[in-house]
Amino acid sequence: MTNSNQIADSEKTAAFNATQMGVLNVLLDLLLPASPDGRMPAARSLDLFADLKHLPLKDRTLFESGLSELEARARQDQGTGFAQLPIGEAQNLVDALRLDSATFIKTFMTQAVGRYLAHEVVMPLIGLEARPHWPTGHTVKDGDWSLLNVVKLRPKIYRNV
Amino acid sequence: MTNDPVDVLIIGAGASGAAFAWSMADTRMRILCLEQGDWMNPAQYPSTGLDGELRQLSEFSFDPNVRNRPADYPVNNTESPISIANFNAVGGSTILYAAHFPRFHPSDFKVMSCDGVADDWPIDYQTLEPYFALNDRMMGISGLAGDPAYPAHELPLPPVPLGASGETMARGFNKLGWHWWPSDSAIITRPYQGRDRCLNLGPCTSGCAQGAKGSTDISYWPEAIRRGVKLRSRCRVREVTVDAEGLANGAIYYDADGVEHFQPAEVVVLACNGIGTPRLMLNSKSTRFPNGLANNNDQVGRNLMLHPYAWVMGTFRERLDGQFGPSGCCIWSQEFYETDRSRGFVRGYTMEIVRGRGPLVTAINGLGSGQIPWGAGFHQAFGQLFAHTTGMVVICEDLPEPHNRVTLDEHLTDSNGIPAPKINYTLSQNSLRMLDHAVARSTEVLTAAGAISMQSEAPWKAAGWHNMGTARMGTDPAKSVVNEWGRAHEVHNLFIIDGSIFTTSAGVNPTSTIQALALYIADSMKERLANLFD
């Protein structure tokens, strides 16, 4: 039996090249630096994009063009690579790209935040066990069903026809 | 390539096709179902991995244009404020649905008689009542008898847990004196018919790895196949064909390798949902039906109803548990369901508490709304939202309007070159007023429950799950496509059994009523086998 939910496996690809990774790491620093108290790690330190599994091909293409565009704009405007820019200048270029290429920035945010919050180091820090939902599942309290007593006293509210 | 003929050809293996096939197996006729999607493997559903939320937003997205699997067809939504949602597989959209399982109410079948708008169905609640009950047993429905918003009915299983989110919202409803009740849910809360209970895996809307959710690949299909029904997956039907007399005589489809087949059949049954069914009919042009199958009255594709949704979430100081549990099913309120003209609109809506969101969706919503910033402030802002939100979706009844319709796109096609559907849809003034009312009342109950801030989206663009009315049921052949037992007025051996045939949409999730209708149509056909085409 072939299953179309194996689609992700066919889309595994190698990581981005060194220049692209340099741009990506600065983007990660802008979006997800370490927390001021040091409790939450910086996204850059977790190697989130070492494996591009589950990055759909169209998103990978979007990433590559978006990262290249940032590098090209840095070289054109500042005469240096994006990764060498002061953080404020880098942020300005990202803000400009956000207007011109909202889809790339939105996709970057989804992928970066998704990989960060599902990382086994981060999950316990946000109150979750570092494991998939299945097979263990979770306990949800049944709750106080006496709250329903007052509703049970109501007459019917549907219409006869 | 021409295949061996069958007696009954069902197109579509989702909610309705599965129930119908199981019922028709009684006849011992040669029954074949063609499904363009594949069997799913629950061991590969997103909840089995740490990256589940990311996968839910891509390959398990309910938007076929985002998901873009081989089994999917594109949908042109550019002329609609609501995007179509679906899933193509054995089990159809029940693979991804939230499993909310309310029935229609008695007044939902008599909208013209009750409120002077739209039309009455040619059948009523009593007609479907035994089929609702049968379907509840087959799908494994949990809930609690005694809801004052419904005629009395028993459910086979006890309700899903309230959890902290449900308790919080229940207190809000009680403070206002508003109705609420545990939701009827297609979720197994105790071991049932060989299936194990719900483990509160989180979002049910990316498939249930536990098998506790009643998707038809694990409820109806195994039993239907055991009883002799044949099911062929990865078979995409291009058109239903007709003979010189104007009767359906089979279908042309492509298999997984793109090879074209002709499948002869005595009876053809369409079960492709409110978008796929009119798409197939409009693609089935012939000399006899130049505007599409059974469409000489120009009704196929019209009267599309989509259920305008409002999404309203509140943030609470206390930590809740909404990231777990069956996310789509908790409690509902039908305080504003039946018509009260003083509200400024006719008909009404259901509020459904949807617990909370996982970490990624919480963060993305927060980043999009400005509640969460980029940079060092991300962590604190995220911490104030994650596991601190609960709220609701509100399902508004949509009234049928002929200009809301499915047509064929002139340029867009699927991977087999078959023209894709185009949606032309606008919200009526009645729907807009109802949405405004719904957001205001939702904000009121969230405040009563203790929310410290609220966010809403209405209409909720992504929420085109419920596709109805595009081949509607009626007694007047000039204004409807099928009769009161699902037979096409213009083609007497063509039957339609999915949400296309809804005359009106009610203000609840439609799956329970879709399946009850499919079971009722199957019984109607079995009772008339001797003169089915007269």
**Distances from the Cα of B197 to the Cα of B160, B192, B443, angstroms:** 10, 8, 34
Residues in chain B, overall count: 534
Q: Which residues lie closer than 8 Å to B341 by C-beta, 6 or more apart?
A: none
What is residue A14's predicted lDDT score, i.e. its pLDDT? 61
Task: Say what the pLDDT of residue A52 is.
Answer: 78
Query: Would you state the structure tokens that stand for residue B240, as one six-digit string?
Result: 């239903």
Question: Helices A87-100 and A18-31 meet at what angle, rounded to 10?
Answer: 100
Whether the CB of B39 is below 8 Å from some CB of chain A: the reply is yes
Interface test with B, best of A1, A2, A5, A125 (most B CBs within 10 A): A5
CA distance B322 to B391: 9
pLDDT of residue A13: 45
CA distance B262 to B233: 15
Nearest to B227 by CA among B8, B30, B17: B30
Q: Which residue of A has its CA nearest to B40?
A: A3
Q: Say how far apart CA B15 and CA B33 lie, in whole Å.
A: 13
Tokens linked to B467: 């596709």
How would residue A16 be classed by pLDDT, with cut points 50, 70 and 90?
confident
Look up residue B174 and give its two tokens: 């009680």
Give the integer Cα–Cα distance in Å for A97 and A76: 14
Chain A interface includes B158 (CB < 8 A): no
Look at residue B494 and tell me whether its pLDDT is greater than 60.
yes
Question: Using CB atoms, which residue from B53, B125, B375 is nearest to A118?
Answer: B53
Q: What is the 3-state secondary structure (H, E, C) of B243-302?
A: CCCCCEEEEEEECCCCCEEEEEEEEEEECCHHHHHHHHHHHCCCCCCCCCCCCCCCCCCC
Phi and psi for B140 in degrees, rounded to 5?
80, 75
Give whole-number Cα distances, B140 to B97, B136, B143, in Å. 15, 6, 10
Sheet holding B76-79, edge to edge: B76-79, B419-424, B405-413
Binning pLDDT at 50, 70 and 90, where does residue A8 land? very low
Query: Is residue B464 pLDDT above 70, yes or no?
Result: yes
Q: Give how far A101 is from chain B: nearest CA, Å.
A: 15
pLDDT at A1: 33
Check residue B204 and report its DSSP letter.
G
- Which residue's structure tokens are 């559907």? B421
Residue by residue, DSSP assigns B151-193 as: -----SBPPPP-HHHHHHHHHHHHHHT---EEPPBSB-SS-BT
* Mean pLDDT of chain B, nearest integer: 97
Give the amino acid at B166: G
d(CA B246, CA B263): 17
> What is the band of B205 on the pLDDT scale with cuts at 50, 70, 90?
very high
B473 has which bridge partners? B482
- Greatest alpha-carbon span in chain A: 76
Q: Is B116 exposed, middle or buried (0-12, 13-18, 19+ CB in 10 A)?
A: exposed
* Contact residues, chain B, for A132 at CB < 8 Å: 47-50, 52
CA neighbor of B307 nearest in space, from B81, B466, B456, B438: B466
What number of other Cβ atoms are within 10 A of residue A107's Cβ?
A: 21
Once rounded to an integer, what is the mean pLDDT over residues B488-495? 98
How many angstroms separate the most distant Cα atoms in chain B? 74
Interface touch A7/B45, C-beta < 8 Å:
no
Residues in CB range of B290: below 8 A, 6 or more apart:
none
Which residue did the predictor score with more confidence, A60 or B464?
B464
Q: Which two tokens stand for residue A72?
A: 């090209």
> Which residues does residue B454 pair with via DSSP β-bridges, in sequence order?
B314
Phi, psi of A67 (to 5 degrees): -65, -40
Structure tokens at B418: 């078959």
CA separation for the pair B116, B124 (Å, rounded): 17
- Tell me B532's DSSP state: T
pLDDT at B284 > cutoff 50: yes
Q: Model ipTM? A: 0.93
Residue A102: its pLDDT value, please?
85
CB pairs under 8 A between A and B: 219
